[in-house]
Structures are given as structure tokens and as C-alpha cells.
Structure 1
Amino acid sequence: MADLQPNKQELIKIIEQSKVSPPPGTVPTTSLPLSFFDVPWLLFANMQRPYFYEFPHSTHHFLETRLPSLKHSLSLTLQHFFPFAANLILPPPPAKPHILFAEGDSAVSLTVAESAADFHFLSANHPRPVRALDTFVPKLAPARVDGDTRMEPIMALQFTVFPNSGICIGLRCNHVAGDARSLHHFMKSWALVCKTGGDLTSLDGDSGLPSLDRTAVKDPYGLELVFLKAWWSLASTWKNEDQRSVLDTDDHHSLRATVVLCRDKIERLRHWITNQLANDNENSTTLHMSSFVVISALIWVCLAKSEERNSKVNKDDDDPYYFAFVAECRSRLEFPLPTTYFGNCLTVCFAPVKAAELLGENGVATAAKAIGKEVGELNRKPLKELENFLIKFKKIKDSGWKHVTVLGSPKFGLYETDFGWGRPKKCESIHFRDSTAFLIAQSRDEKGGAEVSLVLSKDQMSRFNAILEEILMGLV
């Protein structure tokens, strides 16, 4: 395990603060309604993502040669992704929240900074303090209040230069504006416009321009009102945005690390699980055994066993241990949405397994079966759990049942975000800060591989790594 660096390494010097908007006259005043997919994310914390790039040049070189093109391409890109430059309008009930873009009052705040921290330490896979990356993700500007209505900015960006080592592009974004696919669509589009010197026609290629047509979203089960009532009820008790958090317990003593799984290990794991389930009474051929499923099953069991050795989970426990995951459903709906749909289009699934079974000899196969079954149901009934997911999530927490949530996907192409100086060295997601969540992304260096980011205590991290190695060594 790498030595942890002192907090002084996190200090940065602010060089510039500004705002970036779409070019004047390119976006009319636009009010964008929230769909029933968007409203639940009013209750959750902002997405926070730093992208680290190697850049062996001085701060002056960055300010003179890179910063102008980054700003210009950002402005050009925002005319198509203008909700990120807009404000979230939160009127008192029964009025509905919405996104409002108004020229002169809508922009992305941009901070430029310099850091003396060790770029290579921060952008590596080894364990680092859970708060080590926070400095490189900006805060959103404070909300404004006009009478009973709050107006909150949606996105903030920060460029941090590590002289002669690298750059970090950090962002904070209100999840209500769009899901991870929408955010990555924006980032890759911005990078492409920057790389091509401001050529907007480059966006007409494979990724395409975003679709902002909210009328394409149908609400057959009346979920919008269900979620709005939950928002109105909870928001009335909150004092600030920081309380919108389900996955953040902010444990300053935890460590954040990334486990890399090569394609060969993932394929061997898939083959091993398939063999384990071959004689199962249920028809295992109907189970969904994607990389997401088998990796999730592996990590879930390793987390449970690392907790069990710390007496948090008992081998004789018959209580359910829940695995929760969000899944994109653009192509799964009765009203299919285009891949380029800009907004949230996520549903929520819960896969329960008895803790005793999860810790048993066939725990990984049992976990994969449970997750794969939920994915199969998702393909048939994508909105099955969505109506009650807030109630169910609260019940799980209030009952003290163990649970873990997986974020991300190995399909988003994070490492394709090239602004013209190469692919990222490291992409992170830091809006989860404890062992109740982990994130899956594709591997930077191998097609078909994966990265798993976790936040654990030092002791649990050591146990987790030992259990993971033991399971992977035992695959035949």
C-alpha cells in the first residue's frame, strides 16, 4: 500500500475565476421541464468527477496555449448542451421545478488553479485518502433566492495545473440535468470540439447532437406526481444542497482505491459462474451474465466477506443483503428514446440475497444469479421498481439491512475523452465516500477490462484485496 501524503499536498492556488456561456444569440430563453426520470435526482448529491491528464508543461504554457481553446470549445459546445449552463428553478409547491436558460443569467462557472500536489500519486490506482481529490472538483455557486423560489446553478468546472506533470479537469454537476450517459456525451463532445479546433460539424458523427425533446418521455404510471410529493416533503426540511446525499457519509478515515480486472480474469469468472449454475433448478441460460453482472457479483461478495471478518455481517444471518443498481433504459422502454437523449433515463433495481448465502461457498454464483435475474426482469419490465424505489431504499436503511449500491458502467467510454493531448490517465467519480457503494468503469488500457473504484477503511481494504485475490486464484 502506498504511503499516504500529507494534507498540505492538497493546497492549491487560484489563478482565475470566470464564467463561460454559449456564444451570444445562439440559445434562446428556454424553460425545460423535468421528466419523471429527472425528479428523483433532486434528492441526491451532485455528480463529482475529476479527469486527470498527463501534461509535462509549465502553468504558463497551459494558460497561453490550452486555456483559450478549452474556453472557446466549451462555449461552442454549450450551445447544444445548454442545460448545463442553465439554472435549476425550485419554486414552492405545487409549482414544478424546471431548468431555465436565459442569456445573461446562465453560465458555467470556471476556476483555473495551480497545485503543488503530486500528480502521479493522485492519479494512480493505489489507496489515497478519501478526501484527497476533493480540492480538484469545484463547488457550485450559492443558490439565489427570489421570494419563495430558489435558483441553483447546474454545473461548475475547474482546471487544475500540476506544473510539468499534468492537468485535472474537475466538474460538479446537478444530477437532475442528466444521467451519466448525458454527462459523458457532453464531455466527449466538448473534447472533440476542442481537439478539432472548434469544428462543430465534428459532432454530427457517431456521438451525434443531444436530443432535448422531453415530450418523447411518457409517464404511463403517473410517477411524476409521486416523486414530486417526495421532493416537496423532504426539501422542506433541508437547509442546503449538501443534505441531498444518500451515498455520502463523509468518513475522513477511509481510503479510495481502484482495482483493475483484466479481460482474461473477467472471462474466466464468467465461465466459472456459468459452470456453477449449470445444474441449477432454474434455467441458467435465461440469466443475464454480462461483464457488469459478473464483476458486480464478485465485488459484492468480497465486500460482504471483508465486512464479515470485521463482525458486521454474520455467516448465520438470514436477513436479506441487498444489491442496488441503477440501469439505463433508453432502449428498454415502450417509448424508446434515442441514445443521444439528454436527461435522466434511469431505473432502479434491487437484488436480495441472504447474507449467509452470500458468504457461503457459492456466494459469487448466487450473487450473479440474483443480479442477472433482476437484469432480465429489467429488460421485460424496466419501470417495475421505479415507483417504490425511494420507499424501498428508506426501508432497507431504516431496517438496518446490509446493502451496497453499484454506480457506473463499463460501456461509457470515459477514456475516450481526448482534448488533443491524449487520453486521460485516470477518471474518477468521487461523490460516494463509504463502503455502501462502488463504481465500475471500463479499463483504460485494455478493451474488455474493467476498473472498480471503492472506498474502504485501511483494514477493510486489506481484507478486501486478500479475499479478491483468493477468489480469482481459485477460478478454473
Structure 2
Amino acid sequence: MARVLHTSLVAPSPAGTALHERSLPLTYLDALWLHAPPVERVFFYADATGDQVLSNLKDSLSQALRAFYPLAGRLRLTPGTPNRYELHYQPGDGVAFAIAEYHHAGFDELATDDPTEVAKILPLVPALPAGGALLSLQATVLRGGLALGVTVHHAACDGVSSTHLLRTWAWAAAARAGESAPEQPVIDRTLIRDRQDLYDAFTAPPPRPPSGDDDGGKPLVGIVSPDVQQLLATFTLSKDLLQRIKDAVAREAERRGVPPPRSTSIVAAFGFVWHCHVRAKQAGGASQAADASSGGNRRAYLLFPADHRARLDPPVPDKYLGNCVGPCFVSAPGQEVAAAGAHGLFTACAAIADSIDVVVRGGPGYWDGVMERIIEVFSAAELPLTVAGSPRFRVYDVDFGFGRPVKVDVVSVARTGAVSVAEAHRGGGGGGGVEVGISLPAEGMERFRKCFADAMACLLSSARCD
């Protein structure tokens, strides 16, 4: 475990007008994440050590929290209501900020793309303090660098908002001459129209599959704690590889005599990873046996977040502080997603493109029936593959004045079974690549690595892939 040297409560800076007690009600978009595990990230910075660095991080955090004061408050049940929740801030509230040291593994051992034991990384991310805390931070001194752990309650805000806070904090810490400050967050929950029906559905305890199903007692959410043998690894899809995926899918569409699906780097990246993930699970044997027993019609599911800021009526500002994302539902026959070569890639990418089109066309009406779709997906024989993060967050641009991070991991994927996505930080083929983080037990990781390598080899040899 990391040895915590000091923990302090960092309050928003008192500069200017004093902050008074305030409450910010949760919208139905926040309530969607009320029962979700917190998001845990760790940023690795090389050679960022010394008392001055740690002191500056603490002081600049206070400055950043001035604009993001709701995150210094607490999540609570609104007084006098049975199921209405709010972010409540009062003077004296603050964010727990721990200073720790860790000698069980060195910087180079942890800040790597190679499979690493999750147990070695978990001590670098702090738990949320009891009592409804929304944000917790930990700066851990390593041999050769610094790890900055960030834990956020998802009901408080989405990834767009949390990374907005991080960039604001980094700007305050770096104090770069001539560089404009990030825009202020927009703190106004009245911008989102109320949906009482969805709010009530999302705040209710997560449902389970119908009684009698052989579900092993699993709830309709992911893993609650990582397996002791769990590994975390990062895989990079370069710009060139993403283009090869798009080309292979387009050729397969032409061969089938159908219009090519939407062609973007996100569709290509998600399709490739989903294809590899399903292939790896089927290679494990259990999925194949279950699929055979169901007549070969077992479906595979993928869920990834879609930003609705520009799609709501009225649209919500880009810098809105809160949640404004919803699930994008994807499904296809598992055997077809796992099929070798361009066939499997086409099935995966076409299904993803279709689901994006549904979101784009749906507008505000997209939310009608969303709870039924959630229950359907999580009641399936196998939990869906879910996605955390986005290359749009630009997490590798979070520079506190001592250089960009060498590595950024979303550690909470070990708890949820999700895959994380971000812009590629190395080996990205000149930029434009995507990196994917995944956590699996050792045997599952080896199967996934093999499927990933085989699919890459297929794309590098068009004759083999087509």
C-alpha cells in the first residue's frame, strides 16, 4: 500500500466574493450515474518531485475549485424529498488531497503499456471519503516520478466536465505567461428540462435479472471489485491502423453490395476492440458452449457514451458542469462480430455506425424507452462491453508545469469491466491514433493480446484480411 504522509482538505479559494451555502439539484442525466462506481484515473509524470511541486499542486487546486465549487461539496438527499438528490456546498467544504509515497514499484514499472497487476496501481488512486464526497485526489511520490490519482463521483459530472476541471487546475499550477485561462464552467441545472419519469427510474436501486435466472447473483452493473489476479494493459491503434480498418470495412461493404457504414476513427477503434474482445471471450470456451446451447443466436453488446450537449432541446453549452451523456446501444450476433478478418470488422463497425445514427437522428426523443433498453442489455446472458473516456478529453494535455503525463490509466475499468479510450500518447503514427485500456485476468489478457495481434496482422496483409 501507499504510505499516506499527509491529508488536507482543500477548500475553494476565498479570493473575490465569498461563496455561500448553495445546492445544485441533480438532473435525470446526473441520476443515470447515481449508482455507478466512481471514475478513477491516475496520471504519471516523470521527474515531478519535490516539496515545491506538491505545495503548488495544493495551492493551484484551491484556485481551480473556486470556479468548480460544487465538486467541493457533498451529494445528499434533498431534505423533505424521498428520492431527489443534490450537490450541496457550504463554507468549510473542500476536497481531500493526500500526499503519499510508494516504494513497492518504480515509475517505469507502473507507467507502462504492458500488462501490470492492478493491485500495484490501485494504491495510487484515493477512495472517496464517506459522507457523499464527490472528488478526491492523491499525489504519490514514486521512484523516478509522481502519480496523481483522481477519483470522481460520476453523478457529479461527466468526463467532459471532470477533464475541464483538470485543465483549469493545470493552468493555475503552470501559470504560463501569455496563455489564456480556460473558460469558466457553466453552473446552471435549469438548462436541462426535467424528465420526472427518467429521474425516478434512474434513482431507483439497480434492478436485477428476473428471479430464477442463472445469473450468479450479478446485479445490472459491472464488477464491484477487481480480481486479485487482474491485469491492466494499454493497446494503441495508430492512425495508419485506423485507416486500414476503415478501408477493410469499405471493401467488405463493396463486396456485399451495400453502402459503407459511417467511417470515423471512433467507429473504427470501437469496432476493432469489440471484435477482438468478443473473439477473445469465445476463445475462452465458455461463450462458445453457451452460444451452441442457445442455437448460435447469442448476441454481443457494446455500450459507449454519447455527448448530448448539442442534441438537447435547447442545446447545452460545451462548458456545462454536470452530466450530459447517455448510453449508445450496440448489438449484433456474437458469432458474426467474432468472425475472422473483414467479415467480423464489418459487422462490428456497421452495428456501431447504425447506433450512432440512431442517437444523431433521435434528438431529445432518444431518451424515450432508454431504461427499457438498459434493462434489456444488462439482462442478457453476458454483460455488455462498456467504454469509459474519449479521445476528445485530451488527457495527455494535462500539464501542471512539469511536462505532459507519460501515461494515463483509467483504473476503475478493473472494477467495471469497461475499456478506456484516450488519444494515443505514443506510437500513434504521427497523431490521430487511439489508445485503449483494458483490465482482464491473466488468461483473458493473453487471449485478448493474441486476438489483437492477429487482427493487426490481418489488416497489414490485405489478402489475408479480405
Question: Shorter-chain-normalised TM-score: which range?
Answer: 0.7 to 0.9
Look up the SS of the partner of 1:32 in the other structure: strand
1:227 CA drift (Å): 2.7
Residues 34-70 of structure 1: per-residue CA shift (max 9 Å, x gap)? 112111111101111111100164xxxx22x112211
2:440 to 443, 456, 466: 456
Aligned equivalent of 1:416, options 355, 378, 397: 397
Cα distance in 2 between the residues matched to 1:394 and 1:177: 23
Of 13, 16, 21 in structure 1, the residue corresponding to residue 6 of structure 2 is: 16
**Conserved 8 A contact 2:397-2:404:** yes
Give the whole-Å Cα distance in 1 for the aligned partners of 2:165 and 2:179. Answer: 15
RMSD: 2.3
1:348 aligns with 2:340: no
Q: CA deviation at 1:410?
A: 1.5
- 1:428 matched to 2:409? The reply is yes
User: TM (normalized to structure 2)?
Assistant: 0.87
Is the 8 Å Cα contact of residues 347 and 385 (structure 1) preserved in structure 2?
no
Amino acid at match of 1:455: S
1:100 and 2:76 equivalent? no
- How many residues align structurally? 435
Q: What is the DSSP-based 3-state SS (H/G/I as helix, E as strand, rest coil) of the residue aligned with 1:139?
A: coil
Q: Aligned to 2:230, which of 237, 240, 254?
A: 254
- The answer on 1:73 being equivalent to 2:60 is yes
Structure 1 residue identity aligned to 2:435: E
CA distance in structure 2 between the aligned counterparts of 1:26 and 1:381, rounded to whole angstroms:
43
- Using the TM superposition, give the Cα deviation of residue 432 of structure 1 relative to its aligned residue in structure 2, in angstroms: 2.0
CA distance in 2, matches of 1:424, 1:142: 30
1:184 aligns with 2:163: yes
Match of 2:43, SS state, is strand
The 5-angstrom pairing of residues 360-399 of structure 1 reads 360-361=339-340, 362-383=343-364, 386-399=367-380
Please give the alpha-carbon distance, in whole angstroms, between the structure 2 residues aligned to 1:178 and 1:230.
15
State yes or no: 1:158 paired with 2:138.
yes
Structure 2 partner of 1:277 = 253
- Matched residues in 1 for 2:415 and 2:332: separation? 21
Counterparts of 1:17-416 in structure 2, within 5 Å, are: 17-24=7-14, 25-55=17-47, 57=49, 62-63=50-51, 65-91=52-78, 93-94=81-82, 96-104=84-92, 106-116=93-103, 117-143=105-131, 152-163=132-143, 165-196=144-175, 202-203=180-181, 207-219=182-194, 222=195, 224-233=196-205, 246-280=222-256, 282-284=258-260, 287-314=261-288, 317-361=296-340, 362-383=343-364, 386-401=367-382, 403-416=384-397
Partner of 1:405, secondary structure, is strand
In 1, Cα distance between equivalents of 2:73 and 2:383: 38
- In 1, are the aligned partners of 2:308 and 2:326 still within 8 Å (CA)? yes
Give 1:282 deviation, angstroms: 4.5
Q: In 1, distance between residues paired with 2:416 and 2:321? A: 30
Is the 2:48–2:146 contact (alpha carbons within 8 Å) kept by the matching residues of 1? no
Shift of 1:248: 3.6
Please say if residues 435 and 454 of structure 1, whose CA atoms lie closer than 8 Å, have aligned partners that are also in contact.
no
Report the Cα distance in structure 1 between the residues aligned to 2:33 and 2:264, rounded to whole angstroms.
27
SS in 2 for 1:293: helix
Given that 2:83 and 2:200 are in contact with CA atoms closer than 8 Å, whether structure 1 keeps it comes out as no
8 Å Cα contact 2:5/2:99 also seen in 1: yes
Identity of aligned residues (%): 26
What CA distance in whole angstroms lies between the structure 2 residues aligned with 1:95 and 1:256?
A: 37
Structure 1 pair 39–294 and aligned structure 2 pair: CA distance change class (3 A)? same
For 1:113-155, what per-residue CA distance to the aligned partner results, in whole angstroms no more than 9, with x for missing partners?
A: 1111211111101111123211011112212xxxxxxxx1111
Q: 1:394 to 1:34 in 2, by over 3 A?
A: same
Question: How far apart are residue 452 of structure 1 and its match?
Answer: 0.6
For 1:469, the equivalent position in structure 2 comes to 453
Structure 1 residues 332 and 227: CA distance shift in structure 2, 3 A: same
- Give the Cα separation in 1 of the matches to 2:226 and 2:123: 15
How far 1:385 moved relative to its partner? 5.2
Q: Quickly say closer, same or farther: Cα 1:387–1:256, change in 2 above 3 A.
A: farther
1:244/1:377 Cα in 2 relative to 1: closer, same or farther (>3 Å)?
A: closer
- TM-score where L is the length of structure 1: 0.86
> How far has the Cα of 1:233 moved from its partner?
4.4
Q: 1:162 to 1:37 in 2, by over 3 A?
A: same
Query: In the aligned structure 2, how far is the partner of 1:456 from the partner of 1:23?
Result: 41
Going from structure 1 to structure 2, the CA distance change for 1:245 and 1:307 (only over 3 Å counts) comes to: closer
Amino acid of the structure 2 residue aligned with 1:29:
E
CA distance in structure 1 between the partners assigned to 2:53 and 2:396 by the alignment: 19
The residue identity in structure 1 corresponding to 2:306 is A
Question: Counterpart amino acid of 2:27?
Answer: S
Does structure 1 conserve the Cα–Cα contact (< 8 Å) formed by 2:359 and 2:366?
A: no
Instruction: Tell me if structure 2 keeps the 8 A contact 1:438–1:452.
Output: yes
